[in-house]
Amino acid sequence: MSKEKVVLAYSGGLDTTAIIPWLKENFDYEVICCCIDCGQGEELDGLEERAKLSGASKLYIENIIDEFCDDYIMPCVKAGAVYENKYLLGTSMARPVIAKRLVEIARKEGATAICHGATGKGNDQIRFELGIKALAPDLKIIAPWRMTDIWTMQSREEEIEYCQAHGINLPFDTKHSYSRDRNLWHISHEGLELEDPACEPNYDDLLVLGVSPEKAPDEAEYVTMTFEAGVPKTLNGKTMKVSEIITELNTLGGKHGIGIVDIVENRVVGMKSRGVYETPGGTILMEAHQQLEELVLDRATYEVKKDMGNKFAQIVYEGKWFTPLREAIQAFIDVTQQYVTGEVKFKLYKGNIIKAGETSPYSLYSESLASFTTGDLYDHHDADGFITLFGLPLKVRAMKMQGMLDE
């Protein structure tokens, strides 16, 4: 009788490498590793050999970069989804697409379980498992870090010893470095001096995607982008797909010190955590998109969209992507994007994105209305009646409070 199969979300790091023999030893599973490529770059080098040496029967490396960009990043950009005013959801919006592909591989392989290496204190365990539950409620979920009765390793040293005891001699070391998560949109950093909010980040050691604003060039650089229905189409006159635009913006933004955020955020599990996020290209793309929206959205729509964007960010942060609420809000957002078409120009300079002009065939800006000259559409006298009615509640209350209003 063949063994039951488990699909392991595999990064190639020490934790997920140690999980392979642990799963075989404690559950007698056939372990199928699945590495989801969301743009981690060189982190994927040498994974196949590592997984096989560690005891996996198979390794999938699934490139989902374009799906990630088109179906997960862009809805967040269109929504203007920013968690707690700073975090651009780089890790959060990657988790549902990873969960989706893990389920697809599990179905293909006839697996009965999915395993992930997220810790019991973080948000990722929630995001992975809510995605799996929504798409495959019958699959078992194994989270070693929460199974403290049989997962007894509590340090890198212990994990390395465990691997070596099982014949896995890989070039891991015991050095305590930053805990990082990387994809095409961003890279996050936690640990070391960042664990104390009183400590300034050591940016010389920490930054991966770019430089600090102090070390950015002394010359500004102009950038031009065009959008159609809220989606970026060209960068500096060249037509590209979304993933290519983000890649190029990462290079430009990193060069100029754009998109470095130091935040103490509120995790879903109830604790505060401190991290530094590098999102150079994403910061530029979000700003450029918002710059164009200013021209084409009316006041009432823009006001509600801001509220919906905040709600969308919370939904994504909490791992509730595969829900009717996310679908409903995204449907609203998509309607607001029908006329977000046009060109924006800005310059990058030492951590700043400085507007340098914007145009749209659907612009609601009228120079004749906005200027100080009197045009046909606006009669200054009309403001008298408007202000009288608009301010009537204030006036009535003041008269009442001051005894000037008869009962």
Q: pLDDT-derived band of residue 375, with 50, 70 and 90 as boundaries?
A: low
pLDDT digits (tens, 9 = 90+) for 73-97: 999 999 999 999 999 999 999 999 9
pLDDT at 34 over 90: yes
Q: Read off the pLDDT of each residue in 180-188 and give the average, rounded to a whole number.
A: 96
| Options 71, 156, 179, 334, the catalytic residue | 179
Predicted confidence at residue 243, as pLDDT, reads 98
Predicted confidence at residue 169, as pLDDT, reads 87
Q: pLDDT-derived band of residue 202, with 50, 70 and 90 as boundaries?
A: very high
Residue 179 bears catalytic tag: yes
Q: Read off the pLDDT of each residue in 115-129 and give the average, rounded to a whole number.
A: 96
Predicted confidence at residue 225, as pLDDT, reads 98
pLDDT at 407 over 70: no
Q: Read off the pLDDT of each residue in 307-333 and give the average, rounded to a whole number.
A: 98
pLDDT digits (tens, 9 = 90+) for 287-313: 999 999 999 999 999 999 999 999 999
Q: pLDDT-derived band of residue 174, with 50, 70 and 90 as boundaries?
A: confident
pLDDT at 176 over 80: no
Rounded distance, CA 379 to CA 381, Å? Answer: 5
Closest CA to 203 of 357, 85, 123, 214: 214
pLDDT digits (tens, 9 = 90+) for 219-258: 999 999 999 999 999 999 999 999 999 999 999 999 999 9
Residue 376 bears catalytic tag: no
| Options 124, 127, 274, 360, the catalytic residue | 124
At residue 126, the 3 state secondary structure works out as helix
DSSP 341-388: -EEEEEEEETTEEEEEEEE-TT----HHHHSSS--TT--TTHHHHHHH
Q: Read off the pLDDT of each residue in 212-220 and give the average, rounded to a whole number.
A: 98
Q: Read off the pLDDT of each residue in 170-189 and give the average, rounded to a whole number.
A: 89
pTM metric for this prediction: 0.94
CA distances to 57, 68, 75, 299, 315 from 304, rounded to whole Å, are 51, 26, 16, 9, 17
Pairing between β-strand 272-278 and β-strand 260-266 as defined by DSSP bridges: antiparallel
Rounded distance, CA 289 to CA 253, Å? Answer: 15
Q: What percent of the chain has pLDDT over 90?
A: 88
Residue 379 bears catalytic tag: no
Predicted confidence at residue 168, as pLDDT, reads 92
Predicted confidence at residue 373, as pLDDT, reads 64
Beta-carbon-side half-sphere exposure of residue 179 (alpha carbons within 13 Å): 15
Q: Is the dihedral of CA 161, 167, 168, 172 positive or negative?
A: positive
pLDDT digits (tens, 9 = 90+) for 127-145: 999 999 999 999 999 999 9
Work out the number of other CB atoms within 10 angstroms of the CB of residue 250: 27
C-alpha Rg value of the chain to the nearest Å: 26
Which structure tokens are listed for 73?
A: 């990043």
- Tell me the one-letter amino acid at 58: K
pLDDT at 182 over 90: yes
| Options 15, 37, 92, 101, the catalytic residue | 15
Q: Read off the pLDDT of each residue in 263-282 and give the average, rounded to a whole number.
A: 97
- Scan for tokens 């050999």, then name that residue: 49
DSSP 212-237: -GGGS-SS-EEEEEEEETTEEEEETT
Share the mean pLDDT of the chain: 95
Q: Read off the pLDDT of each residue in 118-128 and give the average, rounded to a whole number.
A: 96
| Options 11, 37, 54, 95, the catalytic residue | 95
pLDDT at 206 over 70: yes
Residue 95 bears catalytic tag: yes
